[in-house]
């Protein structure tokens, strides 16, 4: 589904991704871990199409298409979804209005008919149950004044509504209380299918108890430097990153 080859990206003069390789197949869950500043959010942003990052080399293939050729909204319409590490406040636009616009623009892109108010109402009700989100939150301006946890939950609600092929969750667990973490993780699990895939970026093994990954990768200094199974996450939790740096020949 997703094939990232030798991806390089920079911002200004600063090189952040330095030849990153990753392959994700339909039905899989991949976890990406790595120290602060390694480039995890950068990877997520580049995949979503943020223009502030300049891709200087490599390729990204998504469902047979050159992802890097597409505008951010086209990527979304093709089925890429990014749950932001820091969701942005959109004053004056309610979550429901925002999502209605998003859904219908995506449907237009796909040549499907627009959904009407009644259909939306029904669909939103269903999806609200998945992440146990309150209607009152959805009526408010998107993310404006939302608590950290509410923002994260709202991201997963949006994911449920947009039903992406590839979901990239950037530290969705941070800021969630323990109950919310479970609810959000269960939500993600409910949305899982053999046809879609998930990339979970996290610092904590805890989330991976709920969303069990097929593969765990360590992103360090702009590259995937180590890959393994969920046991790798346990090992990182226990030992930190120093041993990996040592393996790479760095003195710690």
Ligand X SMILES: Nc1ncnc2c1ncn2[C@@H]1O[C@H](COP(=O)(O)OP(=O)(O)OP(=O)(O)O)[C@@H](O)[C@H]1O
Residues lying near another protein in the complex (CB under 8 A) are found at 48-52, 71-73, 75-77, 81-82, 84, 87-93, 98-99, 101-103, 105-106, 109, 141, 158, 162
Q: Which of 5, 10, 11, 19 is the binder for ligand X (CB under 6 A)? A: 11
Q: By CB under 6 A, is residue 87 in contact with ligand X?
A: no
Q: In the set 36, 194, 249, 252, which binds ligand X (CB under 6 A)?
A: 36
Cα gap 171→6, rounded to integer Å: 24
Binding mask 65-104 for Mg ion (x = CB under 5 A): --------------------x-------------------
Give me the least distance between CB of 36 and Mg ion, in Å please. 8
What is the CB neighbour count within 10 angstroms for residue 113? 9
Report whether 208 contacts 179 (CB < 8 A). Answer: no
**Complex with Mg ion: residue 85 or 198, whichever CB lies closer:** 85
Min dist. Cβ of residue 10 to ligand X (A): 9
Contact by Cβ (8 Å): 200, 40:
no
92 binds, among another protein, ligand X, Mg ion, none (CB under 5 to 8 A by kind): another protein
Q: Which stretch binds ligand X (CB under 6 A): 7-15, 55-63, 150-158, 185-193?
A: 7-15
What is the rounded distance in angstroms from the CA atom of residue 93 to the CA atom of residue 34? 35
How many other CB atoms sit within 10 Å of the CB of residue 117?
8
C-alpha 97/C-alpha 86 separation (Å) is 21
Residue among 188, 156, 193, 174 at smallest CA distance from 82: 156
Q: Which two tokens stand for residue 111?
A: 């040549």
Using an 8 Å Cβ cutoff, are 208 and 200 in contact? yes
From the list Mg ion, ligand X, another protein, none, which binds 101 (C-beta under 5 to 8 Å, kind-based)?
Answer: another protein
Q: In what order do the strands lie in the sheet with 54-62?
A: 14-24, 2-11, 54-62, 65-66
User: Which pair of structure tokens corresponds to residue 204?
Assistant: 């904590």
Q: Shortest distance, CB of residue 45 to ligand X, whole angstroms? A: 7
Is residue 40 involved in binding ligand X (CB under 6 A)? yes
Q: Which two tokens stand for residue 148?
A: 């950290």
Is 143 an interacting residue with respect to Mg ion (CB under 5 A)?
no
Q: Which listed option, ligand X, Mg ion, another protein, none, makes contact with residue 118 (CB within 5 to 8 Å by class)? A: none
Residue 41 lies near ligand X (rule: CB under 6 A): yes
Residue from 6, 25, 37, 148 that binds ligand X (CB under 6 A)? 37
Q: Does 41 bind Mg ion (CB under 5 A)?
A: yes
Nearest residue to 233 (alpha-carbon basis) of 210, 211, 203: 203
Tokens at 230, concatenated: 């969920």
CA atoms within 13 A on the CB side of 163: 10
Question: Which residues of the chain form contacts with ligand X (CB under 6 A)?
Answer: 11-12, 14, 16, 34, 36-42, 85
Question: Which residues of the chain form contacts with Mg ion (CB under 5 A)?
Answer: 40-41, 85
């Amino acid at each position: 589904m997703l094939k990232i080859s030798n991806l390089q990206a920079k911002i200004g003069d600063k090189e952040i991704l330095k030849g990153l390789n990753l392959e994700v197949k339909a039905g899989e869950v991949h976890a990406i871990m790595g120290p602060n500043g390694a480039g995890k959010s950068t990877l997520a942003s580049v995949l979503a199409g943020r223009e502030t990052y300049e891709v200087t080399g490599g390729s990204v293939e998504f469902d047979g298409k050159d992802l890097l050729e597409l505008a951010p909204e086209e990527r979304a319409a093709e089925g890429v979804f990014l749950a932001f590490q820091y969701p942005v406040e959109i004053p004056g636009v309610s979550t429901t209005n925002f999502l209605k616009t998003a859904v219908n623009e995506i449907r237009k892109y796909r040549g499907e008919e627009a959904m009407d108010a009644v259909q939306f109402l029904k669909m939103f009700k269903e999806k609200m149950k998945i992440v146990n989100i309150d209607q009152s939150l959805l009526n408010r301006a998107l993310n404006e004044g939302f608590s950290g946890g509410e923002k994260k939950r709202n991201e997963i609600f949006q994911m449920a509504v947009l039903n992406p092929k590839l979901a990239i969750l950037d530290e969705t667990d941070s800021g969630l209380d323990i109950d919310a973490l479970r609810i959000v993780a269960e939500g993600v699990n409910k949305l899982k299918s053999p046809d879609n895939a998930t990339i979970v970026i996290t610092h904590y093994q805890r989330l991976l108890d709920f969303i069990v990954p097929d593969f765990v990768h360590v992103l360090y200094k702009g590259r995937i430097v180590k890959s393994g199974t969920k046991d790798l996450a346990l090992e990182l939790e226990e030992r930190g990153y120093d041993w990996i740096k040592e393996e790479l020949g760095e003195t710690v």
